[in-house]
Amino acid sequence: MGMSLGFHIVFAVLGVGIPLLMAIAEGIGLWRRDQIWMQLARRWSAAFGILFAIGAVSGTVLSFELGLLWPGFMAFSGSIVGLPFSAEGFAFFLEAIFLGLYLYGWNRLRPVHHWLAGLPVAASGAASSIFVVMANSWMNTPSGFKLTDGRLTSVDPIAAALNPSTPTETIHMLVSAYVVTGFVVASVYAVGLLRGRNDAFHRRAMMLGMAIAAVAILLAGITGDNSARFVYGAQPAKFAAMEGLYATTRGAPLHLGGIPSDSQHRVLFAIEVPYGLSLLAAFDPNAEIRGLDSFPADQRPNPVLVHLSFDTMVGLGTGLGLLALVFWLSVLRFRRISSSRWLLWLVVIGGPAAVITMEAGWFVTEFGRQPWIVYGIIRTTAAATSAPGLGILFAVFLAIYIALAVTLSRLLLLLARHNREQRVAQESEA
Amino acid sequence: MTQAGAAAALLWLSLTAYAVLGGADFGGGVWDIFAFGPRAHAQRQAVARAMGPVWEANHVWLIFMITGLFTTFPIAFSSLSVALYVPMTIALLGIVMRGAAFAFRAHGQEAVGPFSTWGIVFGGSSIIAPFFLGTAAAAVASGDIRIAGGQVVSGFGTGWSTPFAVVVGLLGVSLCAYLAASYLMVETEDNPQLQSDFRRRALAASAVSGVLAMLGLLLAYAQVPRVWSELTGNGLPLLLLALINGPIALWGVWRIRPRIARYAVAAQVALVLWAWAAGQWPYLVPPDLTISTAAAPAATLQAWLVVIGVGMAFVIPSLAVLFWVFKARNPAAG
């Protein structure tokens, strides 16, 4: 399931982000009657057709796996938290419908109608991300029900959907989706620029990617900071694991990097910022932060995994923010995209780095919640299926995902080459 | 009708929509792999052109049903997931491979030319998925899945591996093929030769479906008394309607009235599903889960019905536009 999720999420975020890019590109193209912007939108729509299909099938896998792998979880929580999933179903419905119109309607719809068909794709992509993450945030801060003698009573699915984590978590995920899309798109075209394809097509695509990325990374920083502070209040064990804090401490230091050691009860090789953690979490240098040791041994998440994921996310996220800043400063300074190769190389690296940042973020929220699947209510082990042969199933799905990923990348590369050849042919005709 | 009954009926409607729309997309895959003769390439292109804009929207009916089921009948969802773990997983693999293969071929085509390996994957998985979905449906209908105290007690192999289930699985595949061939007769109205290819395929699929349906009824009579008594009980009126409607569909195909054939074949599939539903009412997973015992709390059902109402207000007009743009006008114009 974690693997399916890790695979799906890459397509899901592109499914949220790319429609926005397409809509912007086509919008500019229509408005300025500019063929290059139109062509960009058209190219993206072809690539997006494949990406969306893979995202859709991997999403289907997830909806089945909820039952196939976690029957215990679904039997308990289906009635409480199924609602956002159903709402997501509608958002996905609208996305699929309008995408069908958009992909196959280039020659059938009038240009403005075609552009309008793209807008619901972008909007429902964003909505479906919000609905799905609502369900996840419920797992972090379950609400909207009561347990009386182990039985569910007074179920309120609306309250469950709008649980305390919902505002922070859904927004952080949504802006992260734009971060990833922006950097990935910029990265792809930076490769082209590095290979000497220095034309308006590549430059504009990269500028648009970096523009979205710059706005989104700033928002991701703000919402992420907000999220962490929320976790400090709502999920102290996760927070302690994120920061690698063992003993409950007043005026806790901030650990940058380092490896938490369970045997020595401290973080090894870390840079310590005195009072940093208390200051960040509570705006008070002497605030008390609960340490991992204050939780029973069987209720602690794995601090090595969680702390390292957290620092990866924050570290890479900060790096990406700086990259966006440097990029736009240089654009302002030189009035064009700098031709400096090292900056382009950094943009190339920015794409995969953004994906890693996002995956690390998911590691924090998922592993930080362990050993619970629903925080404080159901343990992960109690919710898993009793079915045999899980190892085989895991191997089969892994093989399929690899095959899909390989074919997908090959196809996208071929598509790019085909496009390029076509363009060269057109230019030589002209 | 109670809220739980309304929820069950809505889920059944979405299953019907998935069967008559998504089923045809599986059938398209069947005709892709069985494309032969001088116009094999044109047949494949007709399939791809017909499916392209709509298959993803059709597929969402399944997702919609799954999420609806676990919201409104969570215990049924988790029990079915355990009891039908094997066929559902295989069907899921089929669905994944089918979608991926179609997308790779459809959107990669101009860059990579026809993709033969993915073509076989596309056709093969289009057969596997409806077959195993059919066996799973037969397992539910047969009443072999037993649930006690919220746990499945009947094992992972029960119900879906009987001769009856195999016949229902095959019937599922052949109905998909029948649906697809009759829809494709509409899509190829501008090309009589191609249309006559699909006419012959529709006739073949209808013959196979008819034989399998009779065989299924015989097996039900002999081995699965529960299904027999349901179909001849509450399900009888709908079953009789299906017996009247079947020849109408066949006539439409035979006399090349594709628009009549299209609706009649779709109605045939819907009638079979509704005869089954009427037969096992008020059970959801007979004989241990009824619609009312498996239902989620009232607050959830109510909220879900509201969400469905609001959601459908957006989705149905959008779907209408999609089908109007791609299906009502001359398909060759795109």
pLDDT at position B205, please? 93
In this complex, the residue of B156, B296, B325 whose CB is nearest that of residue A78 is B296
For residue A30, the Cα-to-chain-centroid distance in whole angstroms is: 30
In this complex, the residue of B71, B89, B96 whose CB is nearest that of residue A85 is B71
pLDDT higher than threshold 70 for residue B115: no
What's the pLDDT band for B231 if we cut at 50, 70, 90?
A: confident
Which range among A245-254, A370-379, B98-107, B187-196 has the greatest average pLDDT? B187-196
Distance CA B67, CA A62 (A): 11
Structural tokens at position A41: 């939108």
In angstroms, the Cα distances linking B80 to A71, A388, B159 are: 9, 16, 12
Number of residues assigned to chain A: 430
The secondary structure of B96-145 as a DSSP string is HHHHHHHHHHHHHHHHH---HHHHHHHHHHHHHHHHHHHHHHHHHHHT--
Neighbours of A355 (CB within 10 A): 20
pLDDT at position B334, please? 34
Contacts of B71 in chain A (CB under 8 A): 78-79, 82-83, 85-86, 157
CATH number, position B192: 1.20.1630.10
More confident residue, A30 or B109: A30
- Nearest chain B Cα distance for residue A318, angstroms: 36
Neighbours of B76 (CB within 10 A): 27
Distance CA A135, CA A264 (A): 37
Q: Tell which residue, B214, B187, B103, B195, has the closest CA to residue A100.
A: B103
Q: Testing the interface with B: which of A1, A48, A70, A74 to mutate, by most B Cβ within 10 A?
A: A74
Which range among A12-21, A168-177, B104-113, B201-210 has the greatest average pLDDT? B201-210
pLDDT at position B303, please? 85
Alpha helices in A272-370 (DSSP H): 276-282, 303-334, 341-369
Q: Mapping DSSP to helix (H, G, I), strand (E, B) and coil, where does residue B288 land? A: coil
In this complex, the residue of B107, B312, B321 whose CB is nearest that of residue A46 is B107
Q: CB–CB of B56 and A157 under 8 A?
A: no
Contacts of A57 in chain B (CB under 8 A): 95-96, 99-100
Q: CB–CB of B77 and A78 under 8 A?
A: yes
What's the pLDDT band for B332 if we cut at 50, 70, 90?
A: very low
More confident residue, A112 or A428: A112
Contacts of B57 in chain A (CB under 8 A): 93, 96-97, 100
Task: Respond yes or no on whether the N-terminal peptide bond of residue A371 is cis (omega within 30° of 0).
Answer: yes
In this complex, the residue of B70, B97, B308 whose CB is nearest that of residue A74 is B70
Q: CB–CB of A400 and B96 under 8 A?
A: yes
Q: Which domain holds residue B133?
A: 3-333
For A306-355, how does the pLDDT look when each residue is reduced to its tens digit (9 = 90+)? 888 888 888 888 888 888 888 888 888 887 777 778 888 888 888 888 88
Q: Tell which residue, A291, A157, A215, has the closest CA to residue A20.
A: A215
Structural tokens at position A355: 């994906």
* Of the listed ranges A4-8, A138-142, A286-290, B6-10, the one predicted with least confidence: A4-8
- Nearest chain A Cα distance for residue B183, angstroms: 19
Q: CB–CB of B100 and A53 under 8 A?
A: yes
pLDDT higher than threshold 70 for residue B114: no
Neighbours of A409 (CB within 10 A): 10
Residues A24-36: what's their mean pLDDT?
Answer: 85
pLDDT at position A116, please? 87
Distance CA B202, CA B182 (A): 6
Q: CB–CB of B78 and A82 under 8 A?
A: no
- Nearest chain A Cα distance for residue B243, angstroms: 34
What's the pLDDT band for A390 if we cut at 50, 70, 90?
A: confident
pLDDT higher than threshold 60 for residue B46: yes
Q: What is the mean pLDDT of chain A?
A: 81
Are A178 and A16 contacting, i.e. CB atoms less than 8 angstroms apart? yes
Q: Tell which residue, A235, A223, A233, has the closest CA to residue A171.
A: A223
Which residue's structure tokens are 């791809």? B48
For B47-84, how does the pLDDT look when each residue is reduced to its tens digit (9 = 90+)? 888 888 888 888 888 888 888 888 888 888 888 888 88
Residues A184-202: what's their mean pLDDT?
Answer: 84
- Nearest chain B Cα distance for residue A153, angstroms: 8
Q: CB–CB of B70 and A56 under 8 A?
A: no
Q: What is the ipTM of this complex?
A: 0.81
pLDDT at position A177, please? 87
- Nearest chain B Cα distance for residue A193, angstroms: 22
Contacts of B53 in chain A (CB under 8 A): 100-101, 103-105
- Name the DSSP class of B21: I
Number of domains comprising chain B = 1
For B281, list phi and psi in degrees, rounded to 5.
Answer: -55, 135
Q: CB–CB of B325 and A105 under 8 A?
A: yes
pLDDT higher than threshold 60 for residue B112: no
Q: Testing the interface with B: which of A104, A109, A398 to mutate, by most B Cβ within 10 A?
A: A104
Q: Tell which residue, B215, B217, B132, B138, has the closest CA to residue B176.
A: B132
- Name the DSSP class of B148: E
pLDDT higher than threshold 80 for residue A362: yes
Residues A259-281: what's their mean pLDDT?
Answer: 77
pLDDT at position B174, please? 93
pLDDT higher than threshold 50 for residue A428: yes
Q: Mapping DSSP to helix (H, G, I), strand (E, B) and coil, where does residue A152 land? A: strand
For A204-245, how does the pLDDT look when each residue is reduced to its tens digit (9 = 90+)? 888 888 888 888 888 888 888 888 888 887 888 888 888 888
For A117-156, how does the pLDDT look when each residue is reduced to its tens digit (9 = 90+)? 888 888 888 888 888 888 888 887 777 787 777 677 777 7
Cross-strand bridge partners of residue A289: A249
Q: Which residue of B has its CA nearest to A398?
A: B93
Contacts of B93 in chain A (CB under 8 A): 396, 400
Q: What is the mean pLDDT of chain B?
A: 85
Residues A180-188: what's their mean pLDDT?
Answer: 88
pLDDT at position B329, please? 57
pLDDT at position B331, please? 46
Percent of chain A residues past pLDDT 90, beyond the cut: 0
Q: CB–CB of B95 and A88 under 8 A?
A: no
Q: CB–CB of A97 and B70 under 8 A?
A: no
In this complex, the residue of A64, A78, A99 whose CB is nearest that of residue B71 is A78
Distance CA A330, CA A352 (A): 22
Q: CB–CB of B93 and A400 under 8 A?
A: yes
In this complex, the residue of A75, A88, A104 whose CB is nearest that of residue B52 is A104
Torsion angle in degrees (nearest 10) through CA of B269, B272, B275, B281: -80
Are A401 and A7 contacting, i.e. CB atoms less than 8 angstroms apart? yes
Cross-strand bridge partners of residue A374: A378
Which residue's structure tokens are 């009860």? A265
pLDDT at position B77, please? 86
- Nearest chain A Cα distance for residue B312, angstroms: 8
What's the pLDDT band for B1 if we cut at 50, 70, 90?
A: low
The set of residues, in sequence order, having a beta carbon less than 8 Å from that of A93 and lying 6+ positions away, is: B57, B60, B64, B311, B315, B318
Distance CA B113, CA B44 (A): 13
What's the pLDDT band for A429 if we cut at 50, 70, 90?
A: low
Torsion angle in degrees (nearest 10) through CA of A325, A327, A331, A337: -170
For B305-319, how does the pLDDT look when each residue is reduced to its tens digit (9 = 90+)? 888 888 888 888 888
Contacts of A411 in chain B (CB under 8 A): 104, 107-108, 111-112
What's the pLDDT band for A3 if we cut at 50, 70, 90?
A: low
pLDDT at position B201, please? 93
More confident residue, B116 or B20: B20
pLDDT at position B176, please? 93
Helix (H) or strand (E) holding A372: strand A372-374
Are A212 and A20 contacting, i.e. CB atoms less than 8 angstroms apart? yes
Distance CA B280, CA A202 (A): 61
Looking at this protein, which amino acid is placed at residue B26? F
Contacts of A396 in chain B (CB under 8 A): 93
* Of the listed ranges A142-146, A383-387, A390-394, the one predicted with least confidence: A383-387
Contacts of B89 in chain A (CB under 8 A): 64, 68, 393
Percent of chain B residues past pLDDT 70, beyond the cut: 95
The secondary structure of B238-281 as a DSSP string is HHHHHHHHHHHHHHHHHTT-HHHHHHHHHHHHHHHHHHHHHHHT
Q: Mapping DSSP to helix (H, G, I), strand (E, B) and coil, where does residue A430 land? A: coil
Torsion angle in degrees (nearest 10) through CA of A303, A307, A309, A315: -170
Q: Is the pTM of this model over 0.80?
A: yes
Number of residues assigned to chain B: 334
Neighbours of A92 (CB within 10 A): 29
For B185-212, how does the pLDDT look when each residue is reduced to its tens digit (9 = 90+)? 998 888 999 999 999 999 999 999 999 9
Q: CB–CB of B64 and A67 under 8 A?
A: no
pLDDT at position A430, please? 58
pLDDT at position B198, please? 93
Q: CB–CB of A54 and B322 under 8 A?
A: no
Q: Which residue of A has its CA nearest to B87?
A: A68
